[in-house]
Amino acid sequence: MYTLSLKAFAKINLGLLITGKRKDGYHTLETIFAPINWYDTIEFSDSEAISMSCSILDLSVDDNNLCIKAAKSLQQFAGTTKGVAMHLQKQVPFGAGLGGGSSDAATVLRVLNQFWQVNASPIELHALAVKLGADVPYFLAMKGLAYARGIGDELDDLALTLPYYVVTVFPDEHIATAWAYKHFYPRFDRKLPDLKKCVSELCLSGKKEDLALFENDFEPAVFDHYPAVRQVKSALLEAGSIFASLSGSGSAVFGLFEREEEALTAMHCLPETYRKSLTRPGFSMEQ
């Protein structure tokens, strides 16, 4: 039996600016996606039908799971009856704002496009990805830093990687994206910073003065309702992080560090029950 195993990496958001709300209810945004070395592993095996198992027993593996949705959407697109058995070794926490489920779905699309010999074009796969979730197109097409706008589906590959150690922390709080969009404090009328320019200067010339412009619009409301999340950011800054922020809609928080010893010390300072990840400078999602 043919079996293939691949990593599905997570992401953080360097800045997340919610810029408006569309008539269909979706919010528009601007953000910088950055990959981190925290990943799920998906194993694909030959099968007559689409099926899935997971290392976390309370995670749904029915038609509501994004991996199943991704497989069935490609199956329907291709007009095929081919199947696949998938096993998800879940490591990226859900409800964390790290895009774990979206990355899993993108990996399924990319692998099955070859596994089933569908040969869908990048444009066709992008259309399927958008329907699965706003973050899925990023994981489908990008390897490093990317600028996103629209609902997160309009992407510019920045061809950059972060020159810092990234410590990402999950403070054992699960925050639903729907909750975050319901409770954030809108600021649609402000002047927006040029995130692409700021991140380019940060990565190429080490200009750190504009780091404060990478605000996350979910952060104030999340911190007000989840004080443990706020405490993680404070702990990272006290440990020497040059910048710390909520990722996505939370609850994960990340910090950027110039020195490895400071990054490791920060990880040890936080509660042992909190799951953590260290990403080294120059990381990308190449496999």
Euclidean distance between the first and the last CA atom of the chain, given in angstroms as a whole number: 23
Facing residues of 246 across strands?
Answer: 253
Residues 139, 108 contacting (CB under 8 angstroms): no
Check residue 202 and report its DSSP letter: H
The set of catalytic residues is 11, 135
**Does the CA dihedral 218-219-220-226 come out positive or negative?**
positive
Residues 13, 66 contacting (CB under 8 angstroms): no
Three-state SS at 77: helix
Cα dist from 157 to 89, 134, 145, 147, 160, whole Å: 29, 16, 7, 7, 8
CB-CB neighbours of 273 under 10 Å: 8
Closest C-alpha among 93, 96, 112 to residue 42:
112
Residues 274, 172 contacting (CB under 8 angstroms): yes
Six token digits for residue 103:
């990355």
Report, in angstroms and rounded to the nearest whole number, the Rg of the chain calculated over CA atoms: 19
Integer Cα distance of 130 and 136 in angstroms: 7
Q: Which residue has the tokens 């859900």?
A: 94
